[in-house]
C-alpha cells in the first residue's frame, strides 16, 4: 500500500512499549506523528527518540501525540528505552510499536525493498485530527531526522488550517506569511487587519494572523 498526501491514515491495532494500542483511539482528536525506525539499539534511532522525548512540551502545546515504530519485540523496546533515557538524559513517555510481523510497516509502506528487504526506512508522517496524512518525509536509514523542521511544518499546517494563508521559504513561527492567489488584494486588505504588502499581484505578504 502506498500512502499519499491527503489519504486517510489507516487504523491498526498493535502491541507497544505501553501496551496494546488502537491507533485511532490513541490519537483521539489530536494531531499525530508516526515515525519508523530501522531497528532497536541503533545509534541514530537512539538520538532521535531521545530528542523527540525532550520535545514533549512542544508537542503538547501543539495538541500533538507522538508514536514510534520499530520491527523488534516489546521486551527489546522496553530495554532499549532504558538505554535511551540513560544516554540521552530524558524519559521516553510515548509508545513504541512492536512490529515484528511488519504488518504496520507494510500498511504504511515503511519497508523499501531496494533499500532493505527487512528494515524500515526512516519515514515520518504528520496526521491531522481528521486522520488525513498531511506530511510524509522519508530519510535513508543512515540519516537522522531534523525534528526542528517537523515542528516548523506542524506550525505551518496548523496555521494554514486556521487562517487562509501559506508560509514562504524557510518560514519560522512569528514571521510574515503569504496571501494565496485565490484572494484578491482588495479582499485581502479587508481580511488581514494587520496589513498587506504587495510585491507582485501574485506575491503578497501579511503579518502572521494568530500572534
Residue 149 predicted with pLDDT over 60: yes
Judge contact between 136 and 88, C-beta under 8 A: no
The arithmetic mean of pLDDT across residues 156-166, rounded, is 97
Q: What are phi and psi of 48, to 5 degrees?
A: -65, -50
Active-site hit among 34, 45, 84, 133: 45
136 given a catalytic annotation? no
Residue 108 predicted with pLDDT over 70: yes
HEC assignment per residue over the chain: CCCCCCCECCCCEECECCCCEEHHHHHCCCEEEEEEECCCCCHHHHHHHHHHHHCHHHHHHCCEEEEEEECCCHHHHHHHHHHHHHHHCCCCCCCEEECCCCHHHHHCCCCCCCCCCCCCCEEEEEECCCCEEEEEEEECCCCCCCHHHHHHHHHHHHHHHHCCCECCCCCCCCCCEECCCCCCHHHHHHHCCCCCEEEECCEEEECCCCC
Judge contact between 40 and 77, C-beta under 8 A: yes
Judge contact between 140 and 36, C-beta under 8 A: no
b/e string for 32-45 if b means 16 or more Cβ within 10 A?
bbbbbbbbbebebb
Judge contact between 141 and 188, C-beta under 8 A: no
Residue 120 predicted with pLDDT over 80: no
For residues 119 and 7, what is the distance between their CA atoms, to the nearest angstrom?
A: 24
Residue 1 predicted with pLDDT over 60: no
Q: For the chain, which domains are there?
A: 13-144 (3.40.30.10), 163-206 (3.30.1020.10)
Mean pLDDT computed over every residue of the chain: 93
Cell numbers for 188: 485581502
Q: According to the model, what pLDDT value does residue 117 have?
A: 46
For residues 112 and 121, what is the distance between their CA atoms, to the nearest angstrom?
A: 7
Residue 74 predicted with pLDDT over 80: yes
pLDDT digit string, tens, across residues 10-43: 999 999 999 999 999 999 999 999 999 888 899 9
Q: According to the model, what pLDDT value does residue 37 have?
A: 86
Amino acid at each position: 500500500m502506498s500512502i499519499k498526501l491527503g489519504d486517510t491514515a489507516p487504523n491498526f491495532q498493535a502491541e507497544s512499549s505501553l501496551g496494546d494500542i488502537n491507533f485511532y483511539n490513541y490519537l483521539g482528536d489530536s494531531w499525530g506523528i508516526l515515525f519508523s525506525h530501522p531497528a532497536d539499539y541503533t545509534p541514530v534511532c537512539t538520538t532521535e527518540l531521545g530528542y523527540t522525548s525532550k520535545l514533549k512540551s512542544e508537542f503538547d502545546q501543539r495538541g500533538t501525540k507522538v508514536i514510534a515504530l520499530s520491527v523488534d519485540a516489546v521486551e527489546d523496546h522496553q530495554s532499549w528505552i532504558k538505554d535511551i533515557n540513560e544516554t540521552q538524559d530524558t524519559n521516553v513517555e510515548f509508545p513504541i510499536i512492536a512490529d515484528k510481523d511488519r504488518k504496520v510497516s507494510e500498511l504504511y509502506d515503511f519497508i523499501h525493498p531496494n533499500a532493505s528487504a527487512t528494515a524500515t526506512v526512516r519515514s515520518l508522517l504528520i496526521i491531522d485530527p481528521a486522520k488525513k496524512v498531511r506530511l510524509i518525509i522519508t530519510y535513508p536509514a543512515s540519516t537522522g531526522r531534523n525534528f526542528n523542521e517537523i515542528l516548523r511544518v506542524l506550525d505551518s499546517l496548523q496555521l494554514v488550517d486556521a487562517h487562509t494563508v501559506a508560509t514562504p521559504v524557510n518560514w519560522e513561527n512569528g514571521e510574515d506569511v503569504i496571501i494565496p492567489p485565490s484572494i484578491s488584494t482588495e479582499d485581502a486588505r479587508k481580511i488581514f487587519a494587520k496589513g498587506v504588502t504587495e510585491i507582485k499581484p501574485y506575491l503578497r505578504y501579511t503579518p502572521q494572523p494568530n500572534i
